[in-house]
Amino acid sequence: MVPSDFLRKIDASWTLFIDRDGVINERLFGAYVMSKKDFVFKSGVLETSAKLFSHFSNVFVVTNQQCIGKGLVSEEAIQEMHQWMVDEFLKYGANIDEVYVAPELNNEKSRRRKPNVTMGLEAKKNFPRIDFSKSIMVGDTDSDIEFGKALGMKTVLVISPEQCYSAPDLKVGSLEALNSLIQ
């Protein structure tokens, strides 16, 4: 199978998992997006979201947020920001079913933080019809791609300044570009 052939098989039984920083919003290298004022949607994301999300039965955001573990921001503040993000998508007719957050530090033995699969398994527990073999993980880092592969998903890398050594099934420049490839 040509790497992007799986895109032709997508129908309403598929699930979309998306990383946040660097995919949905601009990533702040060396800093954290901890409030609405720091949260800048990537170009075209909101405008493309309704069409992109409509191809899938469920859409989930899975995000590592060690800024919580560092005590820089509360879990409640991040939840409020995520609710605002979800509401912004809804304004464009795009629904996100759930946002899963890993608050642990990068150097901890975290069970939740990507590339560990806990957030994916939690989504499956909450939405039992998820079939990981009919799921796509879209991210911009090795941990995103490794998370998707460990669960048996197809993986899509959004190219960013961060070097990624994992081999995704597909590389794109943006969610908008991914949407244009789905029939």
Tell me: the pLDDT tens digits for 121-159?
A: 999 999 999 999 999 999 999 999 999 999 999 999 999
CATH number at residue 42: 3.40.50.1000
Residue 1 has pLDDT above 60, yes or no: no
The range of the structural domain enclosing residue 25 comes to 3-181
Residues 6+ apart with CB under 8 A from 76: none
pLDDT digit string, tens, across residues 81-124: 999 999 999 999 999 999 999 999 987 678 899 999 999 999 99
Q: By CB neighbour count within 10 A (0-12 exposed, 13-18 middle, 19+ buried), where does 127 fall?
A: middle
pLDDT at 108: 64
Q: Which long-range contacts (CB under 8 A, 24 or more apart) does 117-121 make?
A: 117/147, 117/150, 117/151, 119/62, 119/147, 120/17, 120/62, 120/147, 120/151, 120/153, 121/151
The overall pTM is greater than 0.85: yes
pLDDT of residue 107: 76
Three-class SS state of 91 = helix
Kindly report the length of the chain.
Answer: 183
pLDDT band at residue 76 under the 50/70/90 scheme: very high
Convert the pLDDT of each residue in 59-68 to its tens digit. 999 999 999 9
The predicted-structure confidence for 15-55, as pLDDT tens digits, reads as follows: 999 999 999 999 999 899 999 999 999 999 999 999 999 99
Q: Which of 148, 174, 18, 41 is nearest to 95 (CA)?
A: 18
Active-site positions read: 19, 21
Burial 141-174 (b: 16+ CB within 10 A, else e): bbbbbbbbbebebbbbbbebeeebebebbbbbeb
* The pLDDT value given to residue 109: 77
pLDDT value at residue 5: 87
Find where tokens 């409640």 sit.
Answer: 76
pLDDT attached to residue 3: 53
Task: Indicate the number of domains in the chain.
Answer: 1
Answer whether 132's CB lies under 8 Å from 124's CB: yes
Q: Which residue type does 88 have?
A: E
Percent of the chain topping pLDDT 70: 97
